[in-house]
Structure 1
Amino acid sequence: MISALVASMADRTGRSLEQWIQLIRTDGPDPLDQKAVRSWLKTEHGLPQDTQFTVAHMAALDAGWVPPSTLQYVDQLYSGKKAVLRPLHDQVTDLILSLDTGDDGGQVSVEGRATYIPFIRRTQFAAVAPGPYGRLRVGVRLRSEIPEVSGLEVEPAKNFAQATHWVHLSAEATADDVAALKPLIRAAYEQNG
């Protein structure tokens, strides 16, 4: 997606990515402050959100920023009071990655984000993050059938990591609770590959 966005940027915005980066260097905010750059690109230049994020990210990289690794993102998400959810996060991650076996194995990538950890095949199919009230949020993108999940409440998701549905697990969730997610995650895995 980013390569297509960059390729069409000059036609859509009147400037190439390199020209936007140069403009930020000369007239914009500190390129390492991606939030300020995105705001400036929106208010001063009217760029759409996806373009703001791409330009800000690339300008920060050009200025020497090194993005955190996936593990560093996970460590940040589960620090402080949310550290109690880390073992549960790791169990759900293991479950998700266990689906990626056989002839089509190796297709799942795990990435890092500031607020969630996405799991991607051809498109993102699952995301895991600390949720409200000390629970772990597991979101999935379902394009057709919604499987029954024994003992867990599957709800329509609201503005979370491209998910159409989610489940919240308490910090006290058991291995059986995590295992109950398997049909839901498998459906999302199959529908997004």
Structure 2
Amino acid sequence: MADPQAALLTQVKNIQAKTGLTLAQMHAQIEASGKEKYAEKRSWVMERFGLGHGDANTVVHFIGKPLPDVQVGAAPPAAEGDPLDAIYTGKKAALRPLHDAVMARIAELGDFEIAPKKTYLSLRRNKQFAMVGPATASEVEIGLNCKTLAPHPRLKILAPGGMCQATTRISDASQVDAVLLGWIAAAYQAAA
């Protein structure tokens, strides 16, 4: 079962990275907007900051409440038992920023659940749509659960019956590009 606190901290970190603002700064702008109802505030946040429904809901949820301690550009504080600390250890520790870059882009798609496993994160909607974790000391692997992906030199098509139909590996943030994001988006939509 995913650690809800760790998932929340990751979500807030990603929101702040996307907008370049802290929750407190966004809250000040919401207050200045004159919006009063919860749904009005959420819609305003979606339009103003370009956030999805789930991220906007999280921003509005924390109005008037203690804010999570997350700084823009910083890794979330390690929760006790943070699964990423166990996944990205030793020689694989240097891959954590690459993992975070992938997750930040995936978070832009909308709401999903993160289910940590021993060696990767399972990303789920109604069903798993992707897996993200270290493959080697220099590559992060992204598993894609989507039957409609066209063959591509960067994709490895897997045998039927597995957890994912295809995988790809990246070793640099520049590879988190439109092609990869298109595959992830297709898998995300297929898991609706």
- TM-score of the pair, normalised by structure 1: 0.52
- Aligned partner of 1:74 among 65, 74, 84: 84
Larger radius of gyration: 1
Equivalent residue letter for 2:105 = L
Contact 2:115 2:122 in 1 (8 A): yes
Percent of aligned pairs with the same amino acid? 28
Number of matched pairs:
113
* Superposed counterparts of 1:32-111, under 5 Å: 72-100=82-110, 106=111, 108-111=112-115
Corresponding residue number in structure 1 for 2:129: 125
Corresponding residue number in structure 2 for 1:188: 187
Inter-CA distance 70–85: structure 2 relative to 1 (3 Å threshold): farther
- Which consecutive unaligned segments of at least 5 residues does structure 1 have? 1-68, 101-105
Q: Which runs of 4+ in 1 moved over 6 A?
A: 158-161
- Aligned partner of 1:146 among 146, 149, 172: 149
Inter-CA distance 130–98: structure 2 relative to 1 (3 Å threshold): same
Equivalent residue letter for 1:90 = D
Task: Compute the displacement of 1:116 (Å).
Answer: 1.0
Task: Compute the displacement of 1:139 (Å).
Answer: 0.5
Inter-CA distance 121–90: structure 2 relative to 1 (3 Å threshold): same
Inter-CA distance 98–161: structure 2 relative to 1 (3 Å threshold): farther
Contact 2:133 2:141 in 1 (8 A): yes
Corresponding residue number in structure 2 for 1:15: none
Contact 1:116 1:129 in 2 (8 A): yes
Highest RCO, 1 vs 2 (Cα 8 Å, sep ≥ 6): 2
Contact 2:158 2:165 in 1 (8 A): yes
Task: Measure, in 2, the Cα distance between the counterparts of 1:89 and 1:177.
Answer: 12
- Aligned partner of 1:134 among 134, 138, 161: 138
Task: Measure, in 1, the Cα distance between the counterparts of 2:85 and 2:151.
Answer: 32
Inter-CA distance 134–178: structure 2 relative to 1 (3 Å threshold): same
Inter-CA distance 153–92: structure 2 relative to 1 (3 Å threshold): same
What RMSD, in angstroms, separates the aligned Cα atoms of the two structures?
2.6
Corresponding residue number in structure 2 for 1:14: none
Corresponding residue number in structure 1 for 2:117: 113
Task: Compute the displacement of 1:132 (Å).
Answer: 2.9
Contact 1:71 1:112 in 2 (8 A): no
Contact 2:95 2:137 in 1 (8 A): no
Task: Measure, in 2, the Cα distance between the counterparts of 1:163 and 1:134.
Answer: 22
